[in-house]
Chain A
Amino acid sequence: MKIAEFNDVHRAYGRGKDVLAGVDFSLEAGQIVALLGKNGAGKTTLLRIAMGLLETQRGSVRIFGLDPRKDAVEVKRRIGYVAEDQILPGFLRVSEVLELHRSLFPTWDDELARRLAERFDLPARPKVKTLSKGQARQVALLCAVAPRPELLILDEPAGGLDPAARREFLETSIRLLNEAGTTILFSSHYMSDVERMADRVVMIHDGRVLIDNELDALRESYSLALLNGGAHVDQEKLLALDGCFAVRERAGSLHAIFQLDPQESEAVLERELGAVDVRATRIALEEMFIELLGGTVPSGGKRGEVRPS
C-alpha cells in the first residue's frame, strides 16, 4: 500500500529558482526511507509539503491517498512530525506539553507515552525552556510517537544532539519500529545513522531525485576508482564509459563512481582507457554522498537507471 506519493513536486520561494523541480517518489507501508541531500537541497521543503505546511506549486502530493492541504486535519492526525527546529512552548511544563498533545490526538497511547518518558528519564515538572536540547527533542519525539501515527516524518531528528543522545534516539526509534512497524520518512546528515536505520535511500540533488534505491542494493552495486588525470583520462572520457555514473575532480585526481562491481570497473578502465593498476573499491554511504553530490553527475538519462524497477 502506498503511504505517500510525490508526483512532479515543484516549489520555489518568492521569485527564486525552484528548490524542488519535479520530485517523484513514493513510500510503501512499513518502509524506512532516508531523505538525503546537501544543505539547501530541499529536504525540509519536501517534508513540509508532505505535512501540508507548504503547497506544491505543480504536480501533486498524496498522503494516505489524501491531499495534505485539503484534508489537512485528517492527514496531520495520522502523521507524527518532528521538525528540524521544533519549537515547543517554553513556558509550559513538560507534563503540560504532553497533556496538550494528548488532548489533541484521540489515538494517544498513555502506556507508550509513560514508557518513553521513563526510558528518556524525562522530568515532568520543569518548564520546557529549561530543558537541554537533547531533552527537548526527546519531548518532541515522544509527542510525535505516542499517538501511534501511521507515518512518522522526522526532519534531522538527531540534529544538534551529542553522540550519546543520538544513540538513545536511534535505540528508541528501533524499539518503536519493533513494536509498531511504523512507516518512517526521515532526513539526516549522519550517514552511519542512515545505514543503521534506513532500508531505502532517496537522494535529492538539483531539485530532483538523483538516486532512489534500497540501501543494500545501493551499497552493493556501486564502486569508486581513483585515477590520475592526464592526456588519456579526463572527466568526459570517464563519464562516457559504460557503467560510469559520476566523476569528481579533487586535488588533481579523478574520482569515478561506477554502477559496477569493483572488479568490473577495473576491467572497463583497463579495456577502454588502458588504465592499468587502478584499484576500485566498494564505498560506504558517506563517501557515496560526497562523491555524488560534490561532483559531476550526468544529467537526464542515467538518472532513470538507478530507480528501483
Chain B
Amino acid sequence: MIQLHIVPGDELPIYRQIMRQVTDAVAGGRLRTGEKLPSQRELAEQLVVSPLTVKKAYDELERQGLISTQRGRGTFVSTAERPIDPELQRERLHGAVRRLLSQAHLANIELDVVVALLHEVDEELRAERARRAELGNDSTP
C-alpha cells in the first residue's frame, strides 16, 4: 500500500500535502487504477493527523474524480484514467521555478548558468534512478 509522508509547517497545509502525494502517485503510475488506499482512520493514525484533515483530503480527491469510496469495501483509485492536467502541472512548477530564478537573480547568476545546472542535476537524477532500478532487479531472483 502507498506510503504517504507529511511535514507540518510545510508551505502546504497537511490536507493539500496528502492530496498532492496521491495525485502524483496516480500520475506517476505508483498508484494504479483500482488499487486500494488506506482508510481514512488508518491514514489519520499512520500520519498522526486529525481524521478531519484526512477526510477533507479524501473528499476533495473524490470530488475531483481521482478516487472513489465504496461503502463497506474501502477507498480505491478510480477506474477513470486521469493523468494530471498539463496546465496544472505547469502551474505547480511555476512556483518552484520562480523561487529558483529569484534566488539566481539575487546571487547574480545568469540564466544560461541556471539552465546548464538544470541539465546537470537531471543527469544526476537519471543516473540515481537507473542505479536504483538495477538494485531492485538484482534483489529479485
Chain A residues with CB under 8 Å of chain B are 30, 32, 167, 170-171, 174-175, 177-178, 191-193, 195-199, 215-216, 219-220, 279, 281-282, 284-286
Contacts and interface: CB of A to CB of B under 8 A. Distances in A.
Contacts of A177: 44, 50-52
Contacts of B50: 32, 174, 177, 196-199
Contacts of A167: 48
A9 to B, nearest CB: 26
12 contacts: A30-B52, A171-B48, A174-B45, A174-B48, A178-B45, A178-B51, A191-B8, A195-B14, A196-B14, A196-B49, A196-B50, A197-B50
A178 B8 contact: no
Contact of B52 (A32, A171, A284): A32
Contact of A174 (B11, B15, B51): B51
Nearest to A192: B8
B32 interface: no
B10 interface: yes
A139 to B, nearest CB: 22
Contacts of A219: 12-13
B36 interface: no
A166 to B, nearest CB: 10
B97 to A, nearest CB: 13
Given A32-B50, A32-B52, A174-B50, A195 B8 contact: yes
A282 B50 CA distance: 22
A-side binding surface: helix, strand, loop or mixed? helix
Contacts of B48: 167, 170-171, 174, 196
B29 to A, nearest CB: 29
A284 B11 contact: yes
Contact of A196 (B8, B11, B16, B102): B8
B13 A192 contact: no
Contacts of B41: 178
A279 B102 contact: yes
B52 A192 contact: no
A32 B56 CA distance: 14
Contacts of A30: 52
Given A32-B52, A197-B50, A175 B11 contact: no
A15 B9 CA distance: 40
A185 to B, nearest CB: 14
